[in-house]
Structures are given as C-alpha cells and as structure tokens.
Structure 1
Amino acid sequence: MKRIYLFILGLCTPAILSAQASIRFKVPGQDLWGLKDRSGKTVVPATYSSIGKFKNGRYIIYKTSFETGMMNEYGQILLPPTYSSIYDLDSIVQVRKDGKSGILNRDLKEVLPLQYQHLQHFDSFYIAKYAGKFGVLNPDFSIAIPFEHGIVYHNSIYSRQFLLYDNGKYALADIRNKILVPQEYEFISGPQYGLYVGMKDGKITLFDDKGKKLWNSDYKDCIILDADHIAVKNAEDIYGVVNRTGKIVIPFQYHIISAINEDMYIVQNTRNLWGVVNATNKVVIPFDYAESFAFKKKIAPVKNSKQLYGYINKLGKPVTDFIYDKANLFSGDYALVTKNNLSGLVDVQGKEVLPLKYDIVSVVIDNHVYVIKNKEHFILDLSKPDAVVKKYDYIDIGDYLQHLLDEKADYPILARNKDGQYGYIDAKGNELTPFMYYNAGSFIDDHASVMYKGALVLIDKHGNILPER
C-alpha cells in the first residue's frame, strides 16, 4: 500500500464509478468535452463544457455550468441540459430547475415534484422548503416535520434531531416531530458529544440528546470539549471546566481553554501564554508558548517567546531546536517546516529529512517527495538525501492524487520537460510515454487527450494511440 503524506494539496471525495463503453475526452487547454467509443469513433463531439464521471450507467453533462443534463454511454440524451443542477445519488436523482427542486427515481421518472425551494438529501430524511416554510420529509417523501418553520437545521450526520427556528426562538425536535427542548431559547448549539447548549435570558443550559436539562448557569460562554468536560467562562471572563453535573473540575484561572488533545487540556493563562494541564489541573507542559497547539504522532509544533517554532513531545521536551518560522502538524511520518520562505521536512524524531531549500513541498508518496524550486519541479528520493530522481518544467501531481482516491495507483502523471514537450511519468519519476506532445491533458477514463503532429488523439497509459475514426 502506498504511503501518501499531503502538505498543501486538497482532495475531493471520489465518485462511485462503473465500467463504460465510451471514453470521455477533453480538448487540451479548452473546456470542451466529448465522448469516443473504445475503437476511437467520436460518439459525441467536444461541445460540452464538462462531462461528469460515468456513474449508474450514465453521465451528467454540462452545456454550461447552469445548463445540466444527462446522457448514457452511447451519447443518447436521457435528460436535456435544461436543469440548473443534477445530483445522481444512486437510488435517486435530485434535480433543480427554475428555482425548484424535486426527485427522480433510478429510471428518471419524477417521484417528488419540482416544487421545493430548498431540498437537502440525507441518508434517512430530507430537509425541504415549501411555500416559504421549512419541514422534513421521510425517505418515502411523507411529511415527518410539517412545513411550518422559518428554518430547520440539522447539525450532525449521526443524529435525526433538528433545531427549529421561528420568530427569534429555537426548539429541538426529533424525526417524529416530538419537541425535546421547547421553543423558548434565543440560541441552541449542538449536538457535540451528544450534548446541546441553550441560551435563554442570559443563562446557559446544558441538555443531553433527549432534551433533559443537565444544569443551568449564569456562565457567559460554554464550549463542549468532550462528553463529560465543558469549558465555561465566568463573570470575570475567566475559563474553567465543569462536568455534566456542573461540578467544577478545573478551577477558573485560564484565559482560554481551546481543546482536549490526547487526554490533556490545551490552555492559555492570564499572561497569554499556552501550556497543558491534565484533568487534575496539574501542569504537564509549562506555559512557555505563544500560540495554541495540538499533538499528532505524540508531537506538537509550538511557538516560543522569540516567535520561533519547534517541536515538543507530550512531556514537553524539545524534539527539535526552535529555528523555524513555521512548523506544521505531522502528515504521516513527516511535517512541513519553513524558514526564510523556504520549506523542508522533519520526521517524528525531529530530524530534517529534506533540507529547507524548496519553494514548495507538496506531497510524499512512499519515499518520493514532490517539490518546486525556482519554478522547476523535482521528484526526490528521501531514502537518498536530496537525491534528484527527475527534474521537470512542470508536474501535475494533483491529478494523480485524485485518481489514488479511486484506487487507481498506476495512473500516469502529466509532466512537461524543459523543451516544452508533454509526457507522462509514474510516481517515482519513470517515463511511461515519450515526451513528444505539443499539449496534453489529464487521464480520463484510462485515456488522455494529447496534441500529436497537429491532431487531437487519445492515448492509453502506455502511450499507444487510439485511432481516430
């Protein structure tokens, strides 16, 4: 299994794919998409601004970003591109048109009319807005909570409880429309760790997930840290910690209590310095640090009074010197550090495994790290300190990482050499195709569109050309 450690790149949630007879293609450098069959014959000319991944036997197609439709793998239109949005949710298809949302079944037949101003799908219910009022629908589209509320909130994927808001007041109800907390609170937040916090007439009330009052107080603020620890602020703007019964477990002596992290409280004292105390308020890590911090891999990046960063362990002992302008949480076995606007990596022992000499350090895949220096892209092997595997004018590593989420670890990586020619490499920098393309795009459905000898052709991951027909 590949070990992948990200430092600057975001990833998207992968779609569920299935095999298809056709291949999507995109004209390099243009937002024009079409379909070819696997013999190379053009099924749909490149006239769409985008074609989504093949799912449930069909594609979502985009004439423009607001003109959405659906076609099958043979290019036949299933839904004309007249919808503002389409979401293919496996068992249903949610559509929106002319400001109204509805539901189609798997056969694309309407099962819930396009009459809802708002429609949000969850696993076991829908939050909807009809005739200006919010309510909740069951999976069979029967009404669970009537359409009579100003707003309905749902804050947890694990709960079927809802915050109802009307006329400046909140209530808490369950999916059967049973009121758990009456509609008399100016504010209700939660659930967090199965707890809700309500504000009424300047007083804070803590509720469990059945709506039972656990305690009521004059505290000015309330932060749920876990199921039995709640940070609260008193009239003097000083924080302490109470439990579910309201008993004080950490005295009121801190300016901020930010979190519990690995069974410890990260706190800021009244001198604006950060440290760590345990559940008995014993100082575990002295108040020596200028910023809040968190532990990962039992190590935390911290900033000292000289505004320099280093790493400490859970005992508060330094793991590195305090020499960095910025230090980050660990991603796997490595953490990104910077100094004088240059970046490198340290490992969990605090050793610099990549010198601080790169403009960007983006990702580690196994022992290979992708970096940029002076606008040139490099692949380095961390098992051979600072050893360059390959150097390119450009590497599109982000596209490769997206395909890894689809469990396609052998997907080629688009790169450009110093002569401006495009080709494809693997994660270790080995060339998979010749660098001979004038322009090239990402791999889509196991093929990539490239400009070769003045023509747009499709190639497979070995560089074989799919004949144009």
Structure 2
Amino acid sequence: MDICIILTDIIKFFILYVLSNYLVKQHKRRINSMKKAVAVILLFCILYIHGFGVFAKSEVYSGELDYAGSFSGDFAVVGKYEGKFKYGYIDKSGKLVIDMKFDYCEDFSENLAKVGIGEDLSSMKYGYIKTNGSYLIKPQFDIAYAMHKGYALVGLKKGKDYKYGLVSNKGKIVVEPKYDYIDVGDYLLDKGYAITSLNSQYGLVNLKTGKIIEPKYKSIALMSNYIRISSMVDGKEKYGFILFNGKVIEPAFDWIHHFGSIAKVIGMVEIDGKFGLMGADGKYVLEPKYDEIREFNDGITHVKLGDKYGYVDSDGSFLTDIEFEDISAFSKGISYVKKNGKWGLLNIDGTYKAEPIYDSISLVNGQIEAVLNGEKKLLNLDGSSKFDNDYVYMYPFVSIEGASKVMKDGKEVIIDAEGKPIFKKDFDKIWDFVDGVARIELKGKVGYLTIDDKYLVEPIYDSAYKDEATSCYNTKDNELWGLVLTDGTVIKPMSDAPIHFYGDYGIIRVGQKKTYIDKKGKRLTNEVFDDCYPFSDGFGRVTINGKTNYLNTAGKLMNRNFDFGQDFKEGFACVYDSGRYRFIDKNGNFAFGETAKFLSAKSFSNGLAAIYADNGKWGYIDTKGKIVIQPQFEGAFNFDEKLAPVIKSGKIGFIDKTGKFVIQPVYESATEFEN
C-alpha cells in the first residue's frame, strides 16, 4: 500500500467528516449519534477501497485466467488470452501485482524476471523487470537467460547466428553482445570472471574491474590461483599466465604444472625440458634451469641439477646445497638423503638428524634403525646410540611399545626405550607377545612367558603349542604329550597324541587306544578303548570291539555293550540293539517298556525325542516314553527352544510341542532355530 495514497484518503476522510458534521447541525431534528454513524461509514468505505477490509478492490484478481504458472518465490506468472496471450504476475494472496501486458514472462530469479514483447517468437525482444513491474532493462535482446549470481547472458541475432553479451543485475550492459559465446559457469562467476569466445579465440572479462581482454588466445583455463592461457608460437602451443592482479605473462612456456597449495608459488614452468617456479607476483622463484622439481611437501620441494639433488623453500631459498645422490620428500619434518654412497636423515631446517654415514637407515616407531659397516644400530632421535655397544640390534619388538630385540652373546634380549633389559633372563629365542603371552626357547627347550616376566609354561619341553579352541597349552617331551590348563595346572606328558579336554575330562591316547583323565592328570579307569567321546550328561561314550558302552565319572562301565549308541541327553541315551532303537537310563536299563522299540530314533532335546515308527512316519515321545505327537511326518528334527522342523509332503515347516504347525511346510530346506 502506497503511503501517499493512505495519507490522501485520511485527508478525504477528514473533509467528509467535517462536512457531515456541518450537515447534522443544519438538521437539528437528527440525533447526535447520526453524526458518528456517518463518520464510521465513511471511514469504512475508504478503508475498504484501499485494502483494510476483508477484500480490497482489484487486489484479488477475480477474472478468469487462461494460464496460471507455479509459484517461484513470492510470484507466479498468469496469463489472459484475448486474441493473443498477455502475461503478468500475481502474489501469494492472489493480487495482480504486475499487469498482464507482456507477450512472454519467466519466473523471478534474484528478484528479476525475463520478459518479452513481440508479435511472435521470431520478433520477440527480451528484457528484465523488477518485482514492482518496472523495467531494469527494456526488451531489446533476441535471446536472454535468467539472472544467475548477478549476471545474465543475452544475445542479438546477426544473420543466422547470435552474438552474446552480458548484463548485470544493476541494469548495466557489462559486455556488448558481439561474441560467439560467453562462459559464465559458477566457478568463473565466483572468481569474478567470464570467458569470451570469438572465431575460436578466447578472451577474458574481469567482472570486478570491468577490464576486458579481447579474444586472442587458443585456450583459457581458470585455475585456483591464476588463469592459464595458451597461444600458438612458431607452430607449437605455448602457455602463459594472467594473474589475479591483472598482470599478463604472455605464452612462452612449453607447459605449466599447477601448484595450488603454496601461497608464494603458483606453478612450475617448463621450457625445453628445464623446470622453474613462477611466483604469485609474476616473477621467478626459481629460473627454469633445473632438470627436475617435485611437488611441495611441508612447504619444501627438492630440485635436481645434473645428477645431484637439493632442497628449496617456497621463497626460492636453498635449505641445502645441491649435493645429494638421492633424497626423499619430507614426512613429519624428516627426509632421507644419500651422500657419497651413505644414508642419513635431514631435518626440515636443513640440519642433520643423523649424518649420512650409514649403509642404510630408517625411522621406525620413534627411533632410528641403521646399518653401519654391516652391523645393525639403534639410534635415538638425536642420532646418539640407544644402547650399549655389546648389543647388536635386530628389529623393533612391536608387541611391547618402544621395545627392541637385540642380540648379546648369542642370546636374544628385549630392551626398553632406555636400552635396559625388560626380562630377567635372556633367551635363545623369544617371539612376540600375543594376549600377554610369548613363546620362548631356552637351552633348546620350549615354554611360554607372560608379559609380567613369569613362566606360564616352563621351558622344559621339546615342543609346545597353544590349542586355540581350549586356550590350553599342549606340551611334548620324549615323544609324549602333556598339557598346561588355563588355570596353570600342569599335566605331565603321558599321551601318545595331543590331549584334548572337554569340560572336566580329557582324552589321551595310549598306543592305538584311548582313555579318560581328570584335570589332575589321573586316569578315570585303567581300561583303554578303541575310541572315546567327550562326556555328556555325566557319561563318556566309548567304543569296544565295535560296540558302544558308557563310562560314568567314577570310571565304571555299564553291564552290557550295545550295537551302537548316541550320547546321553536329558537323562537318556538312544541305542541300537537287536535291530531296533531304544532308550536306556543312566543305570543301563531299557526305558519305557518293551514296546518302546523303533525303526529309528534321535536323542532327547527340550523334553522330546523324535522316533521313527512302524508306519514309516516320524513322531515324538516325551521323557516318560509317551507318544505326544503321533507319527505323521516324513522327517523330524530336534526341538530347539519351542519349535522343531519337520517334513510334510516333501516340504519343511515348523511345529510346536503339540504337533501344530506354527510355520507352514512350504520350504525346500531349513535348520533348527538358534537364539
């Protein structure tokens, strides 16, 4: 609402109020309240007319529209067809804010919109309007693009082609439309430049200063800290610079290698196979006379002249003479250098951390490893020796931080960062610690040492290794195997094969037979068996002459053997006897009576056991021998948790303990549930 209009209406209201007051006085028969009523009515009318009422005259467009575009920001393009389309804009309240007087309209971008005036597309001229509908640039261009980052590409038709220019959001024609094309990509605009093209030559516009370099270059590329240009010189493409300060270095280089991270150096230039460095001020940091210049690292580069190397700072000052036969880039302020065939370490300030006198040298774990005249040395970071001359350095002992393995008098010694021995004894061999334990060898015998310098396994055995499955240590002496349990209990060598413990009992081999021992190494029985299996539910299953029997924890066998048997589970074992599967109790007696004989059966699991009945189907019995799920399945498996997989009509599903399908049999394969 224009403030001038509001003020005018207030004045009108005041005049009308005075006039009404006069008329009321002339007609005294009217009550005094009439005057107030007239004033209120007049005020309402004025406010209604100018937008303070619920609806304002002409503010919400009430006519029909033949075109309505989507809102872009606060405005939408609308159009009316009256022999031809005319377009304008409405705001989000529906008010027609810019009259429908244009032959072409686009959405607002950066508070400016492209509009066109013309009888048809071939005669259309384009310009730009502001949000109040006034022209920023009157329609005069044959082609125009939306404003982007303060600029828009415009063009005039010249014959069959267009010539392009640039306009700004200030209404200024920044570049006259005379070029074949103008590149105004985001990266260029962000840097304040546009690249022009004419007859396959390229020029540059500095949008900040308005300076224009007319197209004359073969190529122009905007880099992070300069603009690279190229021209054909004597039939060869040469490269040059346009600096951001406006200075132009005309193309004269065979190539420019971009250096984007060094403030004082913008690139490495190449002329006739020689290299130099160009500074940000357009002057040489290094003249192009070197055979090699590498990328900067930690603000330092190295150069090569002939067959020697040296280091140069980013301002062109030399840290060292060009005197090294080989060098490396700096890493954490240190580089490797080779001089007169020997290696050393150089600090980034040009001083030596270790003089180049060593056959080889390396920086590992905060210390220096070197070889001098064929002998390994360990040095502190200041280049001094890390330990006594009696020690011969081997390599870092990585399982203890800062430690090293050295050799002294034929023994392996582990020393700390100060060069002092960590363990009381020196060993023939010591391996790295794993989970706080290291394998050791002493006087030809093997053992294990804890990191707190205690023997976990005394070094008295011919051989030893850790059983990863049980975390016990198998030991061997005089061809017999023993065991050191996790609690430190030592079972002396007594077995002809490695001993394996399962719970409280282990299995040893005596000749070609087997038997059981407890955790003290005592045999449960003097008898030996063809085979032994781990204890289950208080019994160890054994094989005697092809038959199965069971040994209890007191070392006593059952009174009879069975043709075959499974482990005890939930108080019973499934055995095969006289052509049938039956269940026995822990006394060795047949359970559930003489009728509980099956074609096949499986061990109990979660209170039920699968049985294969005479009808050729599988069902389940409980621990009282009662059939609780009638034989009806083609296959049956153990209950795990509350469900068991069964086969019905060739498909697998899952039943609960009542025999009801919880998961229908639709699967080709399945496993028992777990967790």
TM-score range, shorter chain: 0.3 to 0.5
Specify which structure has the bigger relative contact order, considering alpha-carbon pairs within 8 angstroms and separated by 6 or more residues: 1
Return the structure number with greater strand share. Answer: 1
Give the number of the structure whose alpha-carbon radius of gyration is greater: 2
**TM-score, structure 2 normalization:** 0.33
Higher helix share: 2
